[in-house]
Structure 1
Amino acid sequence: MILGMTTNNARFDGKVALVTGGASGMGLATARRFLDEGAQVVIAGRSEERLREAAEALDAGDRVLTVSTDVTKSADLERLAAAARSHFGHLDVVFANAGAATFKHVEEFTEADYDHVMNANLKGVYFTVQRLLPLLREGGSIVINASWTQYRGFGGGSVYAATKAAVASLTRSLAADLADRGIRVNAVSPGYIATDMFHAAVTSPEEIEAVRARVPLRRIGTSEDVATVVAFLASADAGYVNGVDLLVDGGLANTIVL
């Protein structure tokens, strides 16, 4: 167990959770959290090599199913749903985590850049939920990965931030749409989290220190920080929490560092 994490090892006993973008970062940490708390887990990701490495790192045998999936492609999502149904029969939790980021000034952004980010972060999330709904049992839970950037103007990240605002709005509408099935839909909005995507954008020690200084808690978050909150939202502990977006950002969006 990661130092500082606490688990209730029974919260997901008998449950099946699916995580997109699950081969690394927040997705992998959340998959590990679900496993630690008793779940069986489906991990979807684009890279078969990274999926193999993730399965080896999790070391959970047939409690883990990996499926190579590009969430922007309907055929891949259909194959993901079929594999999950064949292996586990149903789902109880979906963490729609897969996404993409391109950070450029608005004058440099191309139509291809736009399509790449929009397709991964909005279309991919929407159709992930739609294609997996037939497998999701009554009383299940969906958690969508949004971002703190929806709350503040974010220079260089206009399209990325727009997609995250869109999926936060989608969260509320889906919560209303699926209420008759008792399916709760919530979002988590991470701040600066030390993932591969973060380190691809923030490269030098000076840049990392500047980012850290903006966060009121004076640290960059970990994937485990997010996994803990996703597991809470997906669990019965959050049984009366529906249609919310929960910031996991160390205070970045709502406070000012003096």
Structure 2
Amino acid sequence: MKSILSFLILILILSCKPTESKTQLRAENIVLKERIRILEASDTLHTEAAVELQNMNVVYRGVSNPIYISKPNTLSFEAKAPGLTKKDSLGNYNLNPGQGNTIDIEIKSKLKNGDSLTEVKTLRIKDIKPPIGTINNIGCGSMCELKLKKEELTDAIIGAKINEFLFDLNFYVTSFKIKMPHYRTIKIDGNKMNVRANDLFTLLIPNDNIVIFDISVYIRGRSNYRLKKIAPIIIKIIE
């Protein structure tokens, strides 16, 4: 736009009558330059702040969501929201949302014409979907059955995971329960099979079914976040 108006200025200068004074030409030039400045400022005002996420306009509660924020054609800008922290000067932030279904990010910017502008970007907050239990890092949820040898249960490690999730969550199991044929339910503290469970595993025979359930898990660094109920591990003993 600026180049077009500059061209118009040149045309006006070349088309002026010889009788016009240099003072008049200077005055007209000043007026046109002021129009250019106003138009440039107007264009700047219509450039909105951009907030880029990895997953549309959704952020997850219980994790640190990476966010990129930019505000073109400004001298500077500042972004604020509960749980929002700045990582660097390139527009990278982390957002740890709290309660509620949405969160507002307030972006205050200083424009090139000296004015200030405040915008609000609203993002949706979603809870982390329920994890599934794993044994030695293997798990497929309550809708399927793992086929394992009884020897594979000895000293096995119980964990949790979420399939096809954007973030790598650091789950830690604090306790779980085991139900085996002909035996009462066993509760184990920690994430590893204990001596009592290992002894009972030696008595299992092919086609016996085992269920590992009530898996208590928290996210390292976010122990106060309450995860939804974890899908159990269903096992069938094979040769």
TM-score by length of 2: 0.22
Q: Which of the pair has more CA radius of gyration?
A: 2
Which is strand-richer, 1 or 2? 2
Q: Which has the higher contact order (CA 8 A, sep 6+)?
A: 1
Which is helix-richer, 1 or 2? 1
TM-score by length of 1: 0.21
